[in-house]
């Protein structure tokens, strides 16, 4: 790799980290429209987990950009638990694939719930973001996110993306 | 108008069968009696047969009467159930929720059992026990087991209980073609642990008046004339069937008509049966959801959700069923979260002000009639030997 291309990769890596963290902040604030603005038109979002009980992989949510946009648009019509979620994320690995114009990114995430009444915080879920980030046009955008949950006992569940 | 304390405590102007004392949802003495008089006597579902498809597969089950069980498929293909406890020193034998093992060996002192529950090895048996104790007398405690009604594995702790078919009666007849035409296969499992009483969840499944809570159901069901024709049909032993309906899924923006179905179910069809005391079969469109509840205490409940399709599904069909299921019923689905939010709210409020819980709507058994709940509490009263309304034997004070 030339010095120039190495520098480009370094810039991409930093931009990718910033994208992941910025998205966390947007999701923490329920700014779903702004979150989706960081996604490519062919974005795909899934939440999945392995069940040791039935010894099968499970997909709990699976939507393209239109699907997830619609779910967020319909939220005001539903009764949803409003307990805020806060993400603590650490980008573990970034595997850059210049030939694809993409990077595969693995981020560890702990999601905390803070009660509206009294503000007690508890760990709500642990998992990892397995992301594919497009870097083709110089601006990193999320093309694929699989939220791989370790935690499967999620209480009453949630209407929001993680 | 708002009420004074005296007015608030007055009994409702309804027959006593049409309201209950809220303490049945929170009183520890009631809960202990429910474990003894109901859960220890009835048939309940432990798992689905597709969770243990192969010889020597096992699955653990925390029985609502407070026993830890182990469901095992033997080398002869038969499904048997045992207490998951070593007869030696009371250790849990199998720790993982599911797995496969030819022999069931306690890690503590290596006592070993086969899949028929026979004790096949006591380490240094002769040296320790001589002729005083023999492994042939120290098998596992077997629990009566039956597989049926869609391949569910049913168990009862009561050796004197009647057969499963007698307990279910005709309650599932209207769904049998869906359940029995071909094998089913599990694709979804999750637990919701909620601070609420288990009966609140069954109550929710037993009345549709709460559809006002669900925007999805208001759009896809309540706007159809056929919704109002759905009728509850009570069956012996506390079971109840909800009348069938065809749902208009496309009325919810962004959702689509179900492409897949079940044998005997019209496209977008919906069938539902509530079984006493802790189970609901719910088939909508392309998937079966099975709810089972295990109370941990009067005010804390584990609800297990299973999603099932057909064993013969192609990968594409299975993916479609999973998407359909999760659109409303997964942990991030439109409806399940709302239902759980409701019973969590009931759990939060119980014992904190409510004097009576009303089950009093009468609409000729149609969809907003609360006869499903009343029928449940008739059976509950019969088995408990106490009225759900009469509170004199409860140990906690009225709030």
The number of C-beta contacts closer than 8 angstroms across A and B is 104
Q: Which of B35, B30, B36, B65 is nearest to B387 (CA)?
A: B30
Residue B399 pLDDT class (50, 70, 90 cuts): low
pLDDT at residue B390, as a whole number: 77
Q: Are B291 and B284 in contact (CB under 8 A)?
A: no
Going by the DSSP 8-state scheme, the letter that residue B359 receives in this structure is -
Residues in chain B closer than 8 A to A155 (CB atoms): 192-194, 340, 344
pLDDT digits (tens, 9 = 90+) for B249-306: 999 999 989 999 999 999 999 999 999 999 999 999 999 999 999 999 999 999 999 9
Residues in chain A closer than 8 A to B194 (CB atoms): 155-156
Residue among B334, B337, B346 with most chain A CBs within 10 A, to mutate = B337
- Mean pLDDT of the region B357-374: 97
Q: Is the peptide bond before B294 cis (omega within 30 degrees of 0)?
A: no
B189 reaches A (C-beta below 8 A): yes
- Mean pLDDT of the region A42-57: 98
B333 reaches A (C-beta below 8 A): yes
pLDDT digits (tens, 9 = 90+) for B115-154: 999 999 999 999 999 999 999 999 999 999 999 999 999 9
pLDDT at B248 over 80: yes
The structure's pTM equals 0.96
pLDDT at residue B393, as a whole number: 61
Contact at CB, B331 and A60, closer than 8 angstroms: yes
Q: How far is CA B2 from CA A129, B8, B49, B100, B342, in A?
A: 51, 9, 53, 61, 23
Please give the ipTM for the structure prediction: 0.94
Three-class secondary structure of residue A127 per DSSP: strand
d(CA B298, CA B284): 31
d(CA A79, CA A101): 41
Q: Are B221 and B214 in contact (CB under 8 A)?
A: no
pLDDT at residue A5, as a whole number: 64
Chain A (11-70) residues lying within 8 Å, Cβ to Cβ, of chain B: 47, 51-56, 58-62, 66-67, 70
Q: Which residues of B361-390 are buried (b: 16+ CB within 10 A; e: fewer)?
A: beeebbbbbbbbbbbbbbbbbebbebbbbe
Residue among A54, A115, A149 with most chain B CBs within 10 A, to mutate = A54
Q: Could you give the residue ranges of the DSSP H alpha helices within B50-175?
A: 125-129, 164-168
Closest partner residue to B98 (CB to CB) among A53, A78, A154 is A53
pLDDT digits (tens, 9 = 90+) for A101-130: 999 999 999 999 999 999 999 999 999 999
A155 reaches B (C-beta below 8 A): yes
Three-class secondary structure of residue B181 per DSSP: coil
Q: Which of A97, A74, A112, A110 is nearest to A143 (CA)?
A: A97
Contact at CB, B322 and A62, closer than 8 angstroms: yes
pLDDT at A11 over 90: no
B340 reaches A (C-beta below 8 A): yes
d(CA B69, CA B306): 19
Closest partner residue to A156 (CB to CB) among B51, B194, B323 is B194
- Mean pLDDT of the region B32-43: 98
The Cβ of residue A99 has, within 10 Å, a number of other Cβ atoms equal to 6
Contact at CB, A67 and B97, closer than 8 angstroms: no
B45 reaches A (C-beta below 8 A): no
Distance from CA of A154 to the nearest CA of B (A): 6
Q: Please, which residues have CB within 8 angstroms of residue B14's CB and are 6 or more apart in sequence? A: B358, B360
Contact at CB, A55 and B192, closer than 8 angstroms: no
d(CA A16, CA A11): 9
Q: What's the full length of chain B, in residues?
A: 399
Chain B (202-241) residues lying within 8 Å, Cβ to Cβ, of chain A: 213, 215-216
Residues in chain B closer than 8 A to A58 (CB atoms): 187-190, 322
pLDDT at A2 over 60: no
3-state secondary structure B20-36: ECHHHHCCHHHHHHHHH
pLDDT, mean over chain B: 96
Q: What torsion, rounded to 10 degrees, do the Cα atoms B246, B252, B257, B260 define?
A: -80
Residues in chain A closer than 8 A to B50 (CB atoms): 54
């Amino acid at each position: 790799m030339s010095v120039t291309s190495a520098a480009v990769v370094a810039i991409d890596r930093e931009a990718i980290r910033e994208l992941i963290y910025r998205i966390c902040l947007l999701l923490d604030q329920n700014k779903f429209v702004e979150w989706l603005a960081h996604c490519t038109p062919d974005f795909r979002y899934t939440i999945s987990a392995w069940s040791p009980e039935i010894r099968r992989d499970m997909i709990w949510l699976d939507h393209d950009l239109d699907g997830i946009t619609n779910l967020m648009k319909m939220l005001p019509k539903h009764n949803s638990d409003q307990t805020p979620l806060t993400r603590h994320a650490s980008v573990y690995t970034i595997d850059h694939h210049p030939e694809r114009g993409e990077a595969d990114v693995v981020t560890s995430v702990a999601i905390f719930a803070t009660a509206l009444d009294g503000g007690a915080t508890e760990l709500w879920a642990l998992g990892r973001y397995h992301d594919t980030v497009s870097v083709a046009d110089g601006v990193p955008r999320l093309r694929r996110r699989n939220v791989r949950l370790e935690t499967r006992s999620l209480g009453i569940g949630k209407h929001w993306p993680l | 108008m708002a009420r004074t304390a005296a007015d608030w405590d007055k009994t409702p102007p309804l027959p006593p069968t049409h309201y209950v004392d809220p303490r049945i949802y929170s009183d520890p003495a009631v809960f202990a009696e429910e474990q003894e008089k109901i859960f220890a006597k009835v048939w309940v579902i432990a798992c689905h047969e597709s969770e243990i498809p192969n010889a020597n597969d096992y699955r653990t089950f925390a029985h609502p009467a407070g026993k830890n069980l182990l469901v095992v498929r033997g080398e002869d293909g038969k499904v048997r159930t045992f207490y998951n406890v070593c007869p030696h020193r009371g250790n849990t034998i199998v720790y993982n929720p599911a797995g496969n093992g030819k022999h069931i060996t306690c890690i503590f002192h290596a006592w070993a059992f086969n899949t028929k529950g026979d004790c096949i090895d006591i380490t240094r048996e002769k040296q320790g026990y001589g002729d005083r104790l023999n492994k042939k007398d120290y098998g596992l405690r077997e629990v009566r087991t039956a597989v049926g009604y869609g391949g569910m594995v049913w168990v009862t702790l009561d050796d004197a209980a009647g057969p499963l078919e007698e307990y279910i009666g005709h309650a599932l007849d209207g769904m049998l073609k869906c359940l029995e035409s071909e094998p089913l296969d599990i694709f979804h499992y999750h637990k919701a642990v909620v601070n609420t009483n288990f009966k609140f969840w069954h109550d929710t499944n037993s009345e549709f008046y709460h559809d006002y809570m669900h925007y999805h159901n208001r759009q896809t069901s309540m706007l159809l004339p056929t919704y109002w024709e759905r009728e509850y049909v009570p069956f012996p032993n506390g079971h109840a069937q909800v009348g069938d309906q065809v749902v208009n899924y496309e009325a919810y923006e962004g959702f689509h008509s179900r492409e897949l179905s079940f044998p005997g179910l019209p496209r977008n069809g919906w069938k539902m049966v509530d079984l006493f005391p802790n189970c609901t079969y719910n088939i909508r469109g392309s998937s079966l959801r099975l709810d089972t509840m295990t109370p941990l205490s009067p005010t804390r409940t584990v609800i297990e959700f299973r999603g099932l399709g057909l064993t013969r599904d192609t990968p594409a069909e299975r993916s479609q069923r999973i998407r359909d299921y999760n659109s409303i019923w997964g942990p991030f689905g439109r409806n399940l979260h709302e239902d759980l939010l409701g019973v969590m709210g009931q759990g939060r409020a119980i014992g904190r002000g409510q004097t009576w819980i009303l089950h009093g709507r009468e609409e000729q058994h149609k969809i907003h009639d609360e006869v499903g709940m009343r029928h449940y509490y008739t059976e509950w009263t019969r088995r408990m030997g106490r009225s759900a309304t009469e509170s004199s034997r409860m140990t906690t004070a009225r709030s």
